[in-house]
Chains A and B, each alone.
Chain A
């Protein structure tokens, strides 16, 4: 099976702009989660989508949003970019079994966003 794919891999934006990142999960996986990785804050959970519904949300401002499509592909959007949004954004997919906190999450290569 193909792994999790993320596009684009690299992105440069300026403050105030918005950006959309895309994630295609492993075939058959219904859960998609997004994480932000920065040197200062480490890996932080953004949100999880399952069957087109947001199931969990981390502690991020409303500028960060996401959605999931019927084919399980997901996008995340960051509006009004700030310098601190520069990070590696990782997408992870899993089968999405309900109540499965022990479910393995498989990560994509990430999108590296630089905000100037």
Chain B
């Protein structure tokens, strides 16, 4: 069975500072990894994903994520945080065994960016 862990319930950063939201995963086989963001009373917005290739993946709104196979991690990063980045962030792993599309999500991390 696959699983995702987001060890921090909340991350606080000051505007303009770099941010990191952590994610570790457990899968058998090749990992398909995703980051989504959720704003209040909204659905999930896709930020980026790792399928294969370069370990550094660039996504929407200046976000990027680093895939580390040896540490089974897929941390989300941004060089300079904005107040508007404050939201709930979810890491997810996709099924990769020809079983269609099923995402397993981490518990989410609330990002608070203070002016």
Q: Which of A13-21, A48-56, A60-68, A77-85 contacts B (4 or more CB under 8 A)?
A: A48-56
Q: Is the CB of B105 within 8 A of A43?
A: yes
Q: How far is the CA of A58 from the CA of B99 in the complex (A)?
A: 12
**Which residues of chain B are within 8 angstroms of A100 by Cβ–Cβ distance?**
100-101
Q: Is the CB of B36 within 8 A of A98?
A: no
**Which residues of chain B are within 8 angstroms of A55 by Cβ–Cβ distance?**
99-101
Please name the residue on chain A nearest to B90 by beta carbon.
A43
**Which residues of chain B are within 8 angstroms of A45 by Cβ–Cβ distance?**
102-104
Report how many residues on chain A are interfacial, defined by Cβ distance under 8 Å. 30
Q: Is the CB of A109 within 8 A of B101?
A: no
Which of B32, B42, B45, B106 sits near A102, CB closer than 8 Å?
B32
Q: Is the CB of B102 within 8 A of A109?
A: no
Q: Which of B34-84 contact A (CB under 8 A)?
A: 34, 36, 41-46, 49, 51
Report how many residues on chain B are interfacial, defined by Cβ distance under 8 Å. 28
**Which residues of chain A are within 8 angstroms of B105 by Cβ–Cβ distance?**
42-44
Please name the residue on chain A nearest to B106 by beta carbon.
A42
Q: How far is the CA of A102 from the CA of B67 in the complex (A)?
A: 15
Q: Is the CB of B94 within 8 A of A56?
A: no
Please name the residue on chain B nearest to A4 by beta carbon.
B43
Taking A35-B103, A92-B44 as known contacts, 5 extra A-B pairs with beta carbons closer than 8 A to each other, sorted by chain A number, are: A42-B106, A45-B104, A50-B100, A98-B100, A109-B43
A residues whose Cβ falls under 8 Å from a Cβ of B: 4, 31, 33, 35, 42-45, 48, 50, 55-56, 58, 90, 92, 94, 96, 98-110
